[in-house]
Amino acid sequence: MKRFIYIIAILLPLTTIGQMNDANYQQVVLKTLQLVNDYKSASILTDKRVSRFKNLFESENSRVVNDIPIFNDYKNSISVDEYTKLVRKNFNRLNVTVDVEDILKLSPTSDNSGQISVLIKKTISCQPTPDKFKRSVVYSNGDKDEESIRFSDEFYEVLDIEYNSDYYKISEVRLFKEKGDLVVLTSSVKKGFASKAMLVEDIDFKIKVDGKEILQKGGHFIPINDLQLGWELTIDASESKNKDYLLTKKTYTSADITDNLVPVEFKQPIGFASAIGKFNLNTTTLTINTPDDAATLTNNSSNSFGASFDLDLYALEVLKNKIWILNGIYFRLEYLNHTHDHNINVSKYTYDISSIDPEGMPYIRTVDLTNIDENHQLSFSTLSAGVSAKFGVNNFDLLVSANYGIIQSPSGTYTSSAESINYTGFYNNLFDITIYDNYHDFGTVENVQGSGNLDLNENIDVWTLYFNAQISLNPRLVFFGGVGYTAFQGNIYNKSNDYVNVDFSDDGINNDLRSVNNLPIQTSLKYGSIQLGISYKL
């Protein structure tokens, strides 16, 4: 642009400048450009340049536009003295560039005196020194530091200059056109339970002003200038490359400004809460080991529903450095309600009990049962704790969890039937005679029924292992699905009484089947599962 001004100075016809001759005009333009250059150099306003800056003006009371970015007071003018004091109070220096755009007016009063107005484009960038403009920063390598917020803005200003021979002084600096507000976005992250947000390098997001996208930007400090009255900023971080941070507020107005700053705050989730549904695989739901007779399991169905809570040990800074593709390590709490419904079938079972006949003779009663069919309906909850590790490559996340827990509030009912029960009496002191169906009418009872409550063991340890793939539905919601394995360590049933409750009386035999868990059958729950759920980042 200077080159353009020089050309004007050389080519402008004499008729355009009135009573000035070419030589005088060229001299005025060249000295004006030198004054503008001195103004640019002195405008950085270090300690040594304050006097030089003031000497460019007619007096310390000359009016200048308040273009100091941190005050956002562009509509008002202040004295040169006030201007320099404000700069020295708040900055070590200003970074200033000045480009001449045009000579707007030349009003000579004689060959050597008059007024000239120069249009300049002035850019100011600066870092204020007061503590309120400082922020803690975390760099990508994990180092921490404190940085002053950087402000920058550009202005079209007019320098009104009085000249007389070798006297060239600025009488006023004013805005060429009305200037909108400047705000500086400070993108920061609040980590863990800390109340103070930290600036982080690797955040990127889109910015819209009054619905119109102006730029896609990342970094600590983002100046947006010339905002008009009633402005509204909208932040969109949905496409950010860094998925570890959540935007806590999307829309900002002038009401959100503090010290000319708009804090765009992100949050690093401390973990996530999940709702879980487990659909257990029937082929491995129950294992029965009978020492003498075969037992089978039929009509198996079991499900589990509940919730889990995972705390991110990286976000809480319990752990510091992430390892390769390991994106997170979590402390996990899980609470599940379980329901189990299955039938246990035993084709034949025989056992002996000691008894006394109506004559007072001791004998051993042998009980033979055939085709036992018993339905169990179990209900209990488990509370477990463990560790989860999240692995990620590109957009794929795999969560592996291992938990240890205990059973709580177990309950259950049974409904049992046997096709027949046959009784035999054996007398040790009667020549080892075995009596069949001819002594006090022992006989066979058919279609025996029984029902009641199950006696379940509360001292059971529970181990679980999960493998879940995660898909983000939005920045906060994550859908997951996977497989798991659960093992209950110990016999889930307590053995308490004989299996068949038989009452011999003059009226005959009354039979009441107790649960098959009273047989010497070792039972334990071990099952695989398919699980689905949804997580909400906290």
In tens, the pLDDT along 391-419 reads 876 667 889 999 999 998 888 888 888 88
Task: Select, from the ranges 161-175, 197-211, 423-437, 489-503, the one with the highest average predicted confidence (pLDDT).
Answer: 161-175
Angle, CA of 214, 219 and 225, to the nearest 5°: 40
Which carries the bigger pLDDT value, residue 152 or residue 21?
152
For residue 145, the model assigns a pLDDT of 78
For residue 56, pLDDT beyond 70 = yes
pLDDT band at 245 (very low <50, low <70, confident <90, very high): confident
Average of per-residue pLDDT across 273-300: 70
pLDDT band at 506 (very low <50, low <70, confident <90, very high): very low
Average of per-residue pLDDT across 151-160: 94
| DSSP H or E stretch at residue 9 | helix 2-11
pLDDT band at 288 (very low <50, low <70, confident <90, very high): low
pLDDT band at 475 (very low <50, low <70, confident <90, very high): confident
Q: What architecture (CATH level 2) is domain 2-129+151-179? A: Roll (3.10)
For residue 187, the model assigns a pLDDT of 76
Which CATH number is 183-268 given? 2.60.40
% of residues, the chain, pLDDT over 70:
78
On whether the CB atoms of residues 448 and 367 are closer than 8 A, the answer is no
pLDDT band at 507 (very low <50, low <70, confident <90, very high): very low
Tokens of 376: 């169990």
Half-sphere exposure of 524 (CA within 13 A, CB side): 14
Nearest to 375 by CA among 301, 305, 318, 437: 301
Distance CA 425, CA 359 (A): 14
Q: Which residues are 134's β-sheet partners?
A: 148
Under 8 Å CB-to-CB from 16, ≥6 apart: which residues? none
For residue 504, the model assigns a pLDDT of 47
Coil, strand or helix at 65: strand
Tokens of 46: 């270090």
The pTM of the full predicted model, rounded to 2 decimals, is: 0.67
| DSSP H or E stretch at residue 130 | none
Distance CA 321, CA 18 (A): 75
Q: Give 211-219's long-range contacts (Cβ < 8 A, gap of 24+).
A: 218/187, 219/187
For residue 501, the model assigns a pLDDT of 57
List the single range of 197-211, 437-451, 464-478 with lowest mean pLDDT: 437-451
Average of per-residue pLDDT across 340-362: 79
Per the listing, tokens 């082929």 go with 283
pLDDT tens readout for residues 290-324: 555 567 778 878 889 999 999 988 877 777 766 66
